[in-house]
Amino acid sequence: MEDFYFDENAEMENFVDDELIQSLLKQKEAEEAKIEIKEIQTDSDDIKKGAFSNDSYSGLNLFKFEYDELPKFLDPIFPEVGLVSLVGSSDTGKSTLLRQLALTVSLGYKDFLGYEISSKAKNVIYISTEDDPASTSISIKKQIEGLTQGDFDKSNLNNIKFIFDADIKVDGDKNLFNVLLRDLELVQVNLIVVDAFTDLFSGDLNSSTKVREFLNLFSHLSKQFNCLILFLHHTGKKTDKFMASKDNVLGSQAFEAKMRVLLELKHFPNDDTKRTLTITKGNYISHEIKKFSKILRFDENDLLFYEEGQILSSTIPNLAKTNPKKDDALPIIKKLHSEGLSIRKITAELKLKGFNLGKSTVDNYIKELKLKTENSSFKNS
């Protein structure tokens, strides 16, 4: 029988090797685990940092903007940047009102019909497609005299520029957008008035695509140079009989949709010297403000509008149903007309007697009186 031989050293060597291997394996596993933990932490950090963290307009960067409310050009209705519009029928005085705003801003005044003008606002470009330099000169002289009472720094009038030969079809330096780009790169313009939209836009007014494409050109300018662009536009035929509404705007709904704010200027019922100014769209304007219309009085002498309070917009149509002053005014108008006075003199006499009637209203009343006389003569014959 073979003797069993126990080699103690050999057993110890095997034992040590096993322990070493186990130890090395554990170290390797621990190191791999650390690497995995580090990778997980790195991924977690990336997730926390965000995929768009380097973008100027990431959610976090927008959150850090120091704005508590939308910056205003005309508080609380017009923002500093974007597209807005004043609409109305052709004889309400839209151009006159917008020239008044432009002059008020350029002269450095901070109130416009009860609205506060931004302290930053100063420079204006007024694009006029309906008026010429001579007629504009006459109009602004009257308005400036009324605004300033003759006491003002004339150099402030260099804060406003008028463009009369606006054309977007020509190439080169005379193209309107090239003219605007040159000015906007040199001067911090706060307001651009486009008077009027339909004269610049030559496409189909009912085409949403064409209207939106055209307005996008101005929208890019507004955002690039941080200015407000205010369009004068018209309302549809016969809409003067309806309440102020964004649906009254002439042409495609795309025009109204692109505007951040929409105002409508309408005749005040039974008084040609007054207008109503109504906010028909304004997503950032409170309902309490939007439900009221401003009552404006127009002075033909200085071509200025003056604020005369406000009225609930919903009550305006009711005023058109009655005209208590008409019955009192008609006999006076009939007498003065029979004496051979002109419409202008009749209007002046009526104002002295407390009747705030415009020349067009007096003229219409005279036509009514003539028609009644003719009908009466016809019946008697």
CA distance 358 to 272: 5
pTM above 0.75, yes or no: no
pLDDT band at 200 (very low <50, low <70, confident <90, very high): very high
Buried b (16+ CB within 10 A) or exposed e, 159-181: bbbbbeebeeeeeeeeebeebbe
pLDDT for 300 equals: 92
Listed in sequence order, the residues at least 6 apart from 316 whose beta carbon sits closer than 8 Å to its beta carbon are 243, 244, 268, 269, 276, 293
- Judge contact between 124 and 161, C-beta under 8 A: yes
Distances (CA, A) of 188 to 117, 159, 180: 16, 10, 12
**For a pLDDT cut of 90, what percent of the chain falls above it?**
57
The two tokens of residue 69 are 């409310």
Q: Is the pLDDT of residue 30 over 90?
A: no
**Shortest CA distance to 298 belongs to which of 264, 265, 263, 345?**
265
Greater confidence (317 vs 344) lies with 344
pLDDT band at 54 (very low <50, low <70, confident <90, very high): confident
Three-state SS at 119: coil
